[in-house]
Amino acid sequence: MAKRPTIADVARRAGVSKGSVSFALNGRPGLAQSTVDKILAAADELGWRPSNRARSLSVSKAFALGLVITRDPAVLSSDPFFPAFIAGVESVLSTRGQALVLQVVADGSEADGYRRLAQDGRVDGVFLSDLRHDDPRIGLLVELGLPAVTLNRPDGDSPFPAVTLDDRPGTRAVVEHLIELGHTRIAQVAGPPAFVHATARSTAFAETLAAAGLEPVAVETGDFTAAGGIETTRRLLALPEPPTAIVYANDRMAIAGLGAAQAAGLTVPDDLSIAGFDDSELAEYVHPGLTTVRADPFRFGETAAQTLNRVVDGDTDVPDVELPPAELVVRRSTAAPPL
Amino acid sequence: MAKRPTIADVARRAGVSKGSVSFALNGRPGLAQSTVDKILAAADELGWRPSNRARSLSVSKAFALGLVITRDPAVLSSDPFFPAFIAGVESVLSTRGQALVLQVVADGSEADGYRRLAQDGRVDGVFLSDLRHDDPRIGLLVELGLPAVTLNRPDGDSPFPAVTLDDRPGTRAVVEHLIELGHTRIAQVAGPPAFVHATARSTAFAETLAAAGLEPVAVETGDFTAAGGIETTRRLLALPEPPTAIVYANDRMAIAGLGAAQAAGLTVPDDLSIAGFDDSELAEYVHPGLTTVRADPFRFGETAAQTLNRVVDGDTDVPDVELPPAELVVRRSTAAPPL
DNA sequence: ACCTCCAATTAAACCGGTTTAAAGAGCATC
DNA sequence: GATGCTCTTTAAACCGGTTTAATTGGAGGT
């Protein structure tokens, strides 16, 4: 376990100064090509890689990006979004020698998470996920001077670029699909209205129905968890005139709702049609297969990382990026309503 | 956005030298109490927090731990283990001002992930999850000189402490539960035999059956994914004498298997009993609720982080830690076999 | 042969902490 | 009053890079 070589070792071996090694490594002009070659060869022979720690200190950068997620079971426990999103982020970071730093915080104290990342200088920028209406984190990050990219577009002013994926076309497609099947009594289980993406799905739902001259049987507000899916579904099924189709704001609630309907003695899709949102792994494999909307969280992560890196690199006025909208995936959980 | 204060600012304000400030901060003896108070007061007034970067450089520590996970959809996509595990890890790290660095790597190239974390000096230690038989990563980490803790006990020699959760009692309980219900034709969908925890569950399954004088109808090897759960279940149901109960090595395969059975026209549990492993969120809410085994990944993360930190802190001979075994959760997916 | 100018290179400061060796202060001892 | 000893405190080196300002050497011009 010999100590790793330092820049001084390389300099000595190449017969030049530390500064020249630094120049050669960073491809800065002003060095003769022959010298550059000599230095790179020496570095190679010694297997030298510059120390991140030293570099971090002298250039005041962390070479890392941060993601704060809440420990809230609703978001954390089995959300299909984050793992794939993170994989997408990493696919970008690994090519640039950057790392991803995770902060998991207690529900409600996300601010502390960002503050910690900033004060410790652990990261050069952060991802702002699960954007809320009038999200206080935007102001916080401005105050902390921490670059960021928002996932979805905030409603207020924001100095940060946004990477957006329009949930509305997918939701619209689901509703239209149900209407085409002949449904007129359609209900929704929405997500918490505090979230931007939850309300986007909700308004798209309402607007599509309205465009067809229909109105929702009922709209229940869930919390994106399976438990919430059960509870809201039970309420909908207990209505004097229950819906013949339910549109859920995510797959977890939909799969739980499917279970609730079956537990209530209903057959899906004969008695009740059910649609989700996400196309999570299990959606395809439950019985009946879940009609849902397919997003691409991996690509979301990839794009978000690229965008954030442009900001971090000092690019001003990085434009928002719009991802291709999620598309409808029709499976067996939706069919014509009972007669 | 004034620049953050440095140790020199604090020293000037307190009228002492940089060194004294450092001593005071780290609670080292040799300073008069009055001086310590004066320094801490000055630090407080300026809102000074030592720079992690500078500290990292001078003490050659990263103040961070690392986790490498594979991008393999089988492990990544909706594994209920990691998010909760990570939350547990963070609950420890956040109190110590440490960070968690994530590396997501392409399937099969985990070695690169660890190598990168080590060479970049990003972390002081790593978690070794999803331990395999004769896991090559152990040798790699020894070679890299990177401290680690293994999740489960490796079969070969290992210089690292292990945090273990015995899967066998839980599996045994499931099988005994099925036997008590009257099942004699029990099959298993195992995990990939390369994984230590997969074979632990498999041997416990086989041994418990054998102890009751039974033998498995069939053992299929799945890959922990929902798709694999479907496929193996179909094969089991197509046997000339199909099982009356199937024990799955995780919930994802079990839930998919449940779907496959229902799609084949069977009623669970009347025609077929099904049991999973993990007690993931959806287990409770699918129909019928899944009988499974409840592990505690949060606590696993917590304990692993504490243990790894002892190693990182230079404690030699940190003992292995055994977590309380997972326990059986009986729901509606298991019942007496059909007559 | 001398001066100028430019390209290539280097010495040294710097980032913000930690740590070691040495200096200084205060007091008892002889 | 000099010596020795402990208790505090400090100056300076160090971690391993980056960056700026200064230096060197050689080519080109007159």
- Judged against a pLDDT cut of 90, whether residue A71 lies above it is answered with no
Mean pLDDT score of chain A: 93
Judge contact between A16 and A39, C-beta under 8 A. Answer: yes
Distances A129 to A316, B82, B128, B223 between C-alpha atoms, Å: 21, 19, 28, 31
* pLDDT for the residue B30: 82
* pLDDT for the residue A83: 85
3-state secondary structure A247-261: EECCHHHHHHHHHHH
Rounded-to-integer distance, Cα B173 and Cα B182, Å: 14
Percent of chain B at pLDDT exceeding 70: 97
Question: Which positions on strand C lie below 7 Å from a protein C-beta?
Answer: 7-20
* pLDDT for the residue A73: 58
Cβ separation B79–A84 shorter than 8 A: no
Q: What is the mean pLDDT of residues A320-329?
A: 96
* pLDDT for the residue B73: 58
- Judged against a pLDDT cut of 80, whether residue B71 lies above it is answered with no
- Closest chain B C-alpha to A260 CA, distance in angstroms: 7
Tokens representing A101 are 């730093």
Interface check A51 vs B, CB under 8 A: yes
* pLDDT for the residue A78: 57
Confidence of residue B78 (pLDDT cuts 50, 70, 90): low
Domains of chain B: 7-59 (1.10.260.40), 64-165+298-322 (3.40.50.2300), 167-295 (3.40.50.2300)
Judge contact between B291 and B331, C-beta under 8 A. Answer: yes
Chain A, nearest residue to B62 by Cα: A53
3-state DSSP assignment of residue A66: strand
Judge contact between A334 and A273, C-beta under 8 A. Answer: yes
Residues with CB under 7 A from strand C: A 15-20, 23, 30-32, 34-35, 54, 57-58, 60; B 3-4, 6-8, 18-19, 21-23, 25-26, 48, 50-51, 53-55, 57-59
Residue to test with chain B: of A4, A76, A120, A290, most B Cβ within 10 A: A120
- Judged against a pLDDT cut of 60, whether residue A4 lies above it is answered with yes
Cβ separation B285–A259 shorter than 8 A: yes
Of A77, A83, A99, the CB nearest to B84: A77
- Judged against a pLDDT cut of 80, whether residue A332 lies above it is answered with yes
- Judged against a pLDDT cut of 70, whether residue A75 lies above it is answered with no
* pLDDT for the residue B41: 94
Write out chain B residues lying below 8 Å of A53, CB-based.
53, 56-57, 60, 62, 121
Nucleic chain D: which protein residues 45-104 of B have CB below 7 A from it? 54, 57-58, 60
Rounded-to-integer distance, Cα B247 and Cα B251, Å: 10
* pLDDT for the residue A29: 84
User: Per residue in B282-310, pLDDT tens?
Assistant: 999 999 999 999 989 999 999 999 999 99
Interface check A97 vs B, CB under 8 A: yes
For strand A327-329 and strand A292-294, is the pairing parallel, antiparallel, or unpaired?
A: antiparallel
Tokens representing A313 are 């690199």
User: Per residue in A263-312, pLDDT tens?
Assistant: 999 999 999 999 999 999 899 999 999 999 998 999 999 999 999 999 99
Question: In the β-sheet with A245-248, what is the strand arrangement from edge to edge?
Answer: A219-221, A186-190, A245-248, A273-275
Against a cut of 0.85, is the pTM above it? yes
Write out chain A residues lying below 8 Å of B77, CB-based.
80, 83-84, 280-281
- Closest chain A C-alpha to B211 CA, distance in angstroms: 34
Judge contact between B83 and A79, C-beta under 8 A. Answer: yes
Distances B309 to A115, B95, B98, B123 between C-alpha atoms, Å: 24, 12, 10, 11
3-state DSSP assignment of residue A266: coil
3-state DSSP assignment of residue B228: helix
Confidence of residue B259 (pLDDT cuts 50, 70, 90): very high
Rounded-to-integer distance, Cα B92 and Cα A25, Å: 38
Cα four-point dihedral sign A168, A141, A105, B113: positive
The CA–C1' separation of B33 and C27, in angstroms, is 20
Cβ separation B78–A280 shorter than 8 A: yes
Of B99, B104, B260, the CB nearest to A101: B99
* pLDDT for the residue B77: 53
